[in-house]
Amino acid sequence: MSLTDLDIAAFLELLAQQRRQYEHMREQALSDAEFFRSMPQPHELAALLERKRAAMEALAALDAELAPLVSSWAARRQGAATESPHPVDEALKAVRESLKSLITAEDAANKVAEETMLGARRRLRALASTGQAARAYGARAPSQAHFVDERP
């Protein structure tokens, strides 16, 4: 795409959409941490994964639309003398900040999920060992004799 085709207003709107998408995903990641603390059921996890998949698909489509614009902008700014920040530069910076914030929130949610799974594994192991101990001391079914003494 040539620089003459670069529509700054449309570019700024796409960057604003991308920033809003990152911020929405960040809010979701923050709520995901609480969700993982609640020991979700498998169907709840499936819904969470579907929501994340849909968000990633929307973001990928937006990224594909933005890629040529970002490339053209970078080429345009590379040859330009340093001047005061342009609104596009400020929007790009805001998008990067939103992405950093999203990554931080996702990392925190993933840590909570890992801790929750580790706690669940520990509880399951404890239940398994408790069950083994109870069975070791519990009543046993009467055994059947294999040989019968028929002597008078």
Digit-coded pLDDT (tens) for 128-143: 777 666 666 666 656 6
- pLDDT bucket at 17, cuts 50 / 70 / 90: very high
Digit-coded pLDDT (tens) for 50-109: 999 999 999 999 999 999 999 888 888 776 666 677 889 999 999 999 999 999 999 999
pLDDT of the residue at 4:
47
Among the listed residues 91, 141, 112, the one whose alpha carbon sits nearest the alpha carbon of residue 34: 112
pTM (global) more than 0.75: no
